[in-house]
Structure 1
Amino acid sequence: MQAVVLAAGKGTRLRPLTEDKPKALVEVDGRPIIEDVFDNLLAVGASELLVVVGYLKEQLMERYGDDYRGVPITYAHQAEQRGLAHAILQVESHIEDDFMLMLGDNVFRSNLADVVNRQGEERADAAFLVEEVPYEEASRYGVLDTNEYGEIIEVVEKPDDPPSNLVMTGFYTFTPAIFHACHLVQPSDRGEYELSDAIDLLIHSGRTIDALRMEGWRIDVGYPEDRGRATQRLEEATPEATASTRTTPEAETD
């Protein structure tokens, strides 16, 4: 399965760390975040890495070139950072079938393989990991609203008043149907084309959506303090634990 990595953002909330480098090259536990992303994707069978670049893109392209550990890399340029749905459209012409998507600033030690396996079994138009976060943090993410049966009825991006504390994480699988939805998305109040709005369109059109509970942990490195937390979590793990929790549901949760 092809894997898309979104790494075009300026990382303004991570400044001063991103004043002279793209966010994906900010180091966590001694190496760039994007290498952790690449390793996670290779571990669940990525056949090609499609990297959406933008801010200071030359640094990423020169550092990694045409392949990472033998897996080919294709770059797509997002000239203006206009949201995740807009970023995904930059790779539309390169996608051949179902694909994985990971945000280039997330550190995962969780059950990514469960999402990939579910995609292979059921071919949902969108499948992703979800987790519960403190209510005061939910407004940082795409938040899920569910009915009394636990079915997803809406996805809301960074709401001021979150309908729940159940949020999407930064790993997904999609069929090519997501591209049509992304083309239909209108700019949000933030002026961006939101991925959550595209997924919401899939939901309301009756497409199959699978949300799997995350087992293990992940840290969205959006602020300098998140970088410190991610580094601490990785340093606490032994090499054996790190390898075993990368893609399996036995990851530690404490």
Structure 2
Amino acid sequence: MKAVVLAAGKGTRLRPLTDDKPKGMVEVAGKPLLTHCFEQLIEVGIDELLVVVGYKKENIIEHYGDEFEGIPITYAHQREQKGLAHALLTVEEYIDDDFVLMLGDNIFRANLEDVINRQQEQRADAAFLVEEVPYEEASRYGVCDTNKYGEIVDVVEKPEEPPSNLVMTGFYTFSPEIFHACHLVQPSNRGEYEISEAIDLLIESGRTIDAIRMDGWRIDVGYPEDRDEAERRLQEEAEEESETGEGSETDEESEKASTETGD
């Protein structure tokens, strides 16, 4: 399955970290954000990367070249940042089957594979990883309304009065029908072509979109403090893995020593 990674934004809220580089090249725990994204996608079996670039695109292209850990990369240029639906249309010519869409400023430690598996079951036309947040925070995101079957029936972009506290996380699977919907989207009040509007058009046409609740964590690195929080989480995770690994090694060595001495 192919994955589309959106990395065209300027990252103005991350300044001064983005004064000389695109948002996707801001480092978190010693790696660019995009490296974290690519590694996570490879873990779930992605075999081709389509990266949408824009602001200071040369930094990304020169850093990664035409492949990442053996996975081919194709770049598409979004000349103006006019929203996610607009960005997605830049890769339309490269997609002819179900695919993953991932925002390039998120770090996940979550059940991404569950979303892909649901798409491959062919029960749904799309599947989204969604997260429950406090109601007072929901208005910062694209908010999902679901029915009793766990299907998404409405998506509202940054509503003043959220219909739920279930929000989109930036990890989706789609069939190619999403491109037709993106072509029909009209500019929002912000002057952007919103992916939420394209999703609503899919729903109105009778397509089924499943909500997969997140098991784990993710951080949308929108501000410098978000990067700090992501680094803290990753450091804690590394320390836990190190402690676990040391414990396992000690047990194995102890068992070996016991066998050799006959104890």
Counterpart residue number, 2:52: 52
Counterpart residue number, 2:260: none
Structure 1 stretches of at least 4 aligned residues deviating more than 6 Å after TM superposition: none
Q: Are 1:235 and 2:235 an aligned pair?
A: yes
Gap regions ≥5 residues in structure 2: 243-263
Gap regions ≥5 residues in structure 1: 243-254
**1:145-171 superposed Cα distances (whole Å, 9 cap, x missing partner):** 235675532100111222221101111
In structure 1, what is the Cα distance between the partners aligned to 2:209 and 2:241?
Answer: 31
Matches within 5 A, 1:7-26: 7-26=7-26
Distance 1:29 1:159, change over 3 A: same
Greater relative CO (CA pairs within 8 A, separation 6+): 1
Q: Secondary structure of the equivalent of 2:164?
A: coil
Contact 2:156 2:196 in 1 (8 A): yes
In structure 2, what is the Cα distance between the partners aligned to 1:65 and 1:41?
Answer: 17
Out of 147-156 and 47-56, give the one that drifted further: 147-156
Counterpart residue number, 1:250: none
Q: Are 1:170 and 2:144 an aligned pair?
A: no
Matches within 5 A, 1:165-244: 165-238=165-238, 241=241
Q: Which amino acid aligns with 1:169?
A: T
Contact 1:123 1:175 in 2 (8 A): no
Q: Are 1:139 and 2:139 an aligned pair?
A: yes
In structure 2, what is the Cα distance between the partners aligned to 1:103 and 1:151?
Answer: 22
In structure 1, what is the Cα distance between the partners aligned to 2:95 and 2:189?
Answer: 29
Return the structure number with greater helix share: 2
In structure 2, what is the Cα distance between the partners aligned to 1:191 and 1:142?
Answer: 16
In structure 2, what is the Cα distance between the partners aligned to 1:85 and 1:39?
Answer: 24
Q: Secondary structure of the equivalent of 1:17?
A: coil
The Cα shift of 1:79 comes to: 0.1
Contact 2:151 2:211 in 1 (8 A): no
Distance 1:136 1:76, change over 3 A: same
In structure 2, what is the Cα distance between the partners aligned to 1:87 and 1:221?
Answer: 19
Q: Which amino acid aligns with 2:163?
A: P
The Cα shift of 1:109 comes to: 0.2
In structure 1, what is the Cα distance between the partners aligned to 2:203 and 2:16?
Answer: 39
TM-score (norm 2): 0.88
Contact 1:124 1:175 in 2 (8 A): no
Q: Secondary structure of the equivalent of 2:51?
A: strand
In structure 2, what is the Cα distance between the partners aligned to 1:124 and 1:72?
Answer: 28
Q: Which amino acid aligns with 2:42?
A: L
**Could you say what the CA RMSD is over the residues aligned between the two structures, in angstroms?**
1.6
Distance 1:111 1:137, change over 3 A: same
Using the aligned pairs only, state the percent identity: 74
Aligned length: 242
Contact 1:14 1:224 in 2 (8 A): yes
Give the greater-gyration-radius structure (CA). 2
Contact 2:150 2:211 in 1 (8 A): no
Q: Secondary structure of the equivalent of 1:178?
A: helix
Q: Are 1:64 and 2:64 an aligned pair?
A: yes
Distance 1:151 1:44, change over 3 A: closer
Q: Secondary structure of the equivalent of 2:211?
A: strand
Distance 1:207 1:23, change over 3 A: same
Counterpart residue number, 1:249: none
**1:73-123 superposed Cα distances (whole Å, 9 cap, x missing partner):** 000000000000000000000112110111000000000000111111125
**1:164-197 superposed Cα distances (whole Å, 9 cap, x missing partner):** 2110111111100000010111111111111111
The Cα shift of 1:66 comes to: 0.4
Matches within 5 A, 1:44-123: 44-122=44-122
In structure 2, what is the Cα distance between the partners aligned to 1:208 and 1:7?
Answer: 27
